[in-house]
A = this chain, B = another copy of it.
């Protein structure tokens, strides 16, 4: 499968947990069905929304096995291989490939200091070991470096990268990435990770979206993508405006950490919709506030509709 084959809506799946903090396999399988029923074009396991930063290796393995089995080849499965630097990412690469990931998603090194040349070398070393397409994951809020668009296109042209997931929130850089990629013959599949500006990203030439909010309303993102493909930009905008209202579930608990605030809201909404059993998060996250959870449910009811209608 070439990089160009990746397109459309590929939500970063949350990782449902049971009461003991273990991966809730049944809920995760239901989440996969919820996504595929909605028409998504792939799923991304072990991304930031999937609590990859929290999960130890056995739990990471359980997630990827479950998703691979549940998907059963119907759509591609992307797997996050998130670790501090090259050697440690390579350990993750070996496991993810052995478990059947269709593509890998890696960040620049973090915790350590790096230079741009070292970041480039990092991706080249990963690609040497990878037997499936490799995506670069640009997420400065977690990694604290921003990937240079020209470097990404160079790595695409050299066959190192098949694509980019851009969660940088830097729309100027994103435009430049899309333009440079087009000038280079489109070696990269470019995905935005920002679920509230998908209409604009598709207008300027993104190949797809990896929307955390797509856990909750995958059908909405599929509709935006289809409207854009049809050139019906007012329809794309209208659907995006609706989903931007749904995104307010992430603002219900302003005092909790970024982790609990975002992923916790997705899980609370999915629990309310009957897709997963528990909204529990990994340690050391402080549990989601009850008032905030009630507000999440209210917003879901208003924007997605009550659970019985949403399914």
A residues contacting B by CB (< 8 A) are 48, 53-57, 59, 82, 84-88, 90-91, 109-115, 117-119, 121-122, 125, 141-144, 169-172, 175-176, 179, 194, 196-197, 199-201, 203-205, 231, 233-234, 237, 240-241, 244-245, 255-261, 282-286
Which residues on the B side are within 8 Å of A113 (C-beta)?
A: 141-142, 257-259, 261
Which residues on the B side are within 8 Å of A286 (C-beta)?
A: 115, 117-118, 121
- Residue among B90, B141, B169 making CB contact with A56, cutoff 8 Å: B90
Counting every copy of the chain, the complex holds 4
Inter-subunit contact A54/B86 (CB<8 Å) = yes
Which residues on the B side are within 8 Å of A125 (C-beta)?
A: 283-284
Inter-subunit contact A283/B244 (CB<8 Å) = no
Inter-subunit contact A121/B85 (CB<8 Å) = no
CB-CB nearest in chain B for A194: B172
Inter-subunit contact B204/A91 (CB<8 Å) = no
Inter-subunit contact A197/B179 (CB<8 Å) = no
- Residue among B119, B197, B231 making CB contact with A204, cutoff 8 Å: B197
Chain B: minimal CB distance from A211 (Å): 12
